[in-house]
Amino acid sequence: MLREFIAKLRKKGTFYEIKKTIPNDGILTAIMQKLDGKTILIHNFKNFSSFKLISGLVGSRENIALALNTTTDKLYDSINKAMGRLKKPKKSGTSPSFMENRLVGDSLSLDILPIQRFFESDGGPYITSALVIAKDPEQEFQNISFHRLMKLDKNHFAIRLVPRHLYTIFEKYKKMGKDTPIAIVIGVHPAVLFAASYPLPYGSDELWLANAFLKNKLEVSYLEDVDAFVPSHAEIVMTGVIKHDILHEEGPFVDITGTRDIIRKQPVVEISEIYYRNDPYYYTILPAGYEHRILMGMPKEVKIYEAVKAVLPTVKQVNMTVGGCGWLHAIISIEKQTDGDPKNVMLAAFAAHPSLKHCVVVDDDIDVYNLNEVEWAIATRFNGEDDLLIVKNVRGSSLDPSADQKSLLTTKIGLDATIPLTKNKDEFKKVKIENDIDIQRYLS
């Protein structure tokens, strides 16, 4: 499935194939930054000629839409429809392709993988694209989610765990005095990537959502040693455990804000087996790049849209902005019914995405993806005395360097940049030129 999707991307003008050898990590990171938002296929990275590196699979909204079999203007509707038709994936009837090669015992070594140190300040080489699958020890469901993995040696990682679903599963095993069995997957169809990043409620299997995106065509394979199902088309699969009684320093790491995250004591993963396809693709994500922000931010856009729609059905668009790291800033356009609507919208947005720091609400004549228009709306429609919402001492984001990193408390701000209903709308509209001319006619 991934390989078929890559074939589709090859036909786009945003696909770059690099066949010259990339000699080191620094040059690879520089290339990824220069081509940020584009799909990059690298044939030769250092001495890892048996692995092709692929990045930028979902570096744009257009790629996400292509992966989910929809268009950019119908993304939210398509995602919500998929949420209503979750279905268990079919179990593959054949041996999965990722089992074409297997490393175990003395042959096992993470050195075979082109794990990259993105920046000199990184605490070590990192896998940024890892999907970790683990089953709840008390309930019959599994969870799949993104986690960065810092390589420690030939069969150990430090894993970043935040208090979400995998952390809950880990804590359950830890209380039992047991390690958490996991599968780690690298290189899958972007529908699986997006599903893994979507904030489903605890107890849901994200592979069911991926299957809905893929029109029930996703096949999975059962791995008995970790009691988990993984996508059969995966390029690389590792099995192992999260040790319940070992911590290691993890970080620093350049996170979504483009700033360095702090060093923390985090659990250790011990790998027991590595599987990979013939001529495999190793998928990697540039920290703080477009792909990182889209995978983290777009699912939150959908959650914000639905939360706002519950209080104001005439919501139009939501944009988790690039400048706001795809995480901390939202711009929301609405068709206002009352002058109190924008503040209700802001409060709904802050509740839907607790990490959201600043929210701007604009009228539906403003394109939320055109930041010049948004700034113009703030300049001409926002009055600080009446249109500013300040919420102090509330939970913020651990990724925000300006927040208190111990308490995670911050101040959130909302800006109402909509036209007051008590005023004449025409006074706030840009004057448009009525005649559309062919300028070349007058320049030649």
Domain harbouring 262, CATH code: 2.30.110.10
Which of 255, 261, 363, 387 is an active site residue?
255
**In this predicted structure, what is the pLDDT of residue 408?**
82
pLDDT tens digits, 335-348: 999 999 999 999 99
The answer on 225 and 123 residing in a single domain is yes
CATH classification of the domain holding 295: 3.40.1670.10
Of 379, 376, 390, 381, nearest to 343 by C-alpha is 390
The answer on 332 and 252 residing in a single domain is no
**In this predicted structure, what is the pLDDT of residue 272?**
97
Position 147, amino acid: H
Point out the domain boundary residue: 283, 309, 341. 283
On the question of pLDDT at 241 being above 80, the answer is: yes
Residue 430 lies in a domain: no
On the question of pLDDT at 41 being above 90, the answer is: yes
Confidence bin at 391 (pLDDT 50/70/90)? very high
Residue burial 103-140, b: 16+ Cβ < 10 Å; e: rest? beeeebebebbbbbbbbeebbbbbbbbbbbbbbbeeee
Phi, psi dihedral angles at 291 (to 5 degrees): -65, -45
The answer on 135 and 66 residing in a single domain is yes
Residue 114 lies in a domain: yes
The answer on 347 and 258 residing in a single domain is no
Point out the domain boundary residue: 231, 264, 283. 283
The answer on 137 and 107 residing in a single domain is yes
Distance CA 130, CA 10 (A): 24
On the question of pLDDT at 407 being above 90, the answer is: no
Of 183, 158, 161, 156, nearest to 172 by C-alpha is 161
Dihedral sign for Cα 100, 66, 83, 190, please: positive
Its pTM stands at 0.89
Active site residue 255: yes
Share of the chain above pLDDT 70, in %: 100
The answer on 254 and 320 residing in a single domain is no
The answer on 309 and 272 residing in a single domain is no
The answer on 120 and 257 residing in a single domain is yes
The answer on 245 and 103 residing in a single domain is yes
On the question of pLDDT at 245 being above 90, the answer is: yes
Residue 360 lies in a domain: yes
Residue 306 lies in a domain: yes
The answer on 327 and 401 residing in a single domain is yes
- Mean pLDDT over 52-76 rounds to 93
What's the total number of domains in the chain?
2
Residue 12 lies in a domain: no
Confidence bin at 93 (pLDDT 50/70/90)? confident
Dihedral sign for Cα 140, 187, 222, 102, please: negative
Residue 80 is part of which domain span? 61-283
The answer on 304 and 239 residing in a single domain is no
Confidence bin at 226 (pLDDT 50/70/90)? very high
Residue 265 lies in a domain: yes
Contacts of 340 (CB under 8 A, 6+ apart): none
The answer on 327 and 236 residing in a single domain is no
Residue 47 lies in a domain: no
Of 42, 50, 47, 33, nearest to 15 by C-alpha is 42
Contacts 24+ apart (CB under 8 A), 372-378: 374/331, 374/417, 376/430, 377/417, 377/418, 378/415, 378/417
Residue 220 lies in a domain: yes
On the question of pLDDT at 416 being above 90, the answer is: yes
